[in-house]
Amino acid sequence: MRMPKSKRPTKIRTEAVNLFYGGFHALKDVTFDIPDRAITAIIGPSGCGKSSLLRIFNRMNDLIPGARVEGGVFLDKLSVYDKETYVVSLREKVGMVFQKPNVFPMSIFDNVVFGPRNHGIKDRDKLAEIAERRLTQVNLWKDVKDILKRPGGELSPGNQQLLCIARALAMEPEALLMDESCSALDPGSTMRIEELMHNLAKKYCIITVTHNMEQAVRVSDMAAFMMIDDDRVGGLVEYATTREIFSRPKDKRTEDYITGRFG
């Protein structure tokens, strides 16, 4: 597979990554460089390992019994799977937003400052500044500034997802993983999230999994197409700029997928 060149520096790099769940081989020999300050979309049919690959970048697969990763995964110069790597610190650097908003059962304010407070920030004024800055960053401050003590779960699904993004950003991450984070939202909320992604990509590395080809075209700079091989193992078929993937794919399997012939 030809590796694309990017003017942006690499933020996350994989080298011949294989993922196993016990005796099941889930991902095979995934190698690619993900640029900083850009949006990379991971696309492909259901079951090809897109979310599994995403969870490799912040070791969320560690929570699954029997999960094992072989090969290299790097965040800048940090070896993600090195025995000396502190996983909690890694997940601060690589935040994650899930398919359904996972708002904590607490107030809007406490949701945003949950991470900073757990890491020793107790000053109320400092926490208030963090909450306002991050809620403003996700364009939610005007909607919630007068109801910060209300439970986060009372917000609309779209605003709950924005709240979850604000909570992730409060930890000052370097990368943000988004696992089909718009699939449960209405079109208006989806548009707000997509606009936010474009703004956040000016500062962060964003990697998103999506089944929505139109969304991949709208939001991403790079696209990685995955599918299952004859041995039922997921892998990377083609990786290039989004424009190249959708206008001049090099692999016929990519062309068949994006034109709707399968998947």
Q: What is the pLDDT of residues 130-185, one digit of tens each?
A: 999 999 999 999 999 999 999 999 999 999 999 999 999 999 999 999 999 998 89
Residue 66 region by backbone torsions, left for phi larger than 0, else alpha for psi between -120 and 50, else beta: left
Q: How far is the C-alpha of 171 from the C-alpha of 95, rounded, in Å?
A: 8
Scored b (16 or more CB within 10 A) or e, 232-242 reads: ebbbbbbbbbb
Q: How confident is the model at residue 263 (pLDDT cuts 50, 70, 90)?
A: low
Tokens linked to 227: 């599918």
Q: Specify whether the CB–CB gap between 114 and 167 falls below 8 A.
A: yes
DSSP state of 21: E
DSSP state of 140: -
Average pLDDT over residues 223-231: 94
Q: Cα Rg for the chain, rounded, in angstroms?
A: 19
Q: How confident is the model at residue 230 (pLDDT cuts 50, 70, 90)?
A: confident
Q: How confident is the model at residue 1 (pLDDT cuts 50, 70, 90)?
A: very low
Q: Which residues contact 1 (CB under 8 A, 6 or more apart)?
A: 236, 237, 238, 239, 251
Tokens linked to 29: 């020999």
Q: Provide the residue type at 173 as one letter.
A: P
Give the range among 39-43, 181-185, 201-205 with minimum mean pLDDT. 181-185
Residue 49 region by backbone torsions, left for phi larger than 0, else alpha for psi between -120 and 50, else beta: left
CATH architecture for segment(s) 10-258: 3-Layer(aba) Sandwich (3.40)
Q: How far is the C-alpha of 28 from the C-alpha of 37, rounded, in Å?
A: 27
Partners of 97 in the beta sheet? 178
Q: Which residues contact 150 (CB under 8 A, 6 or more apart)?
A: 107, 108, 144
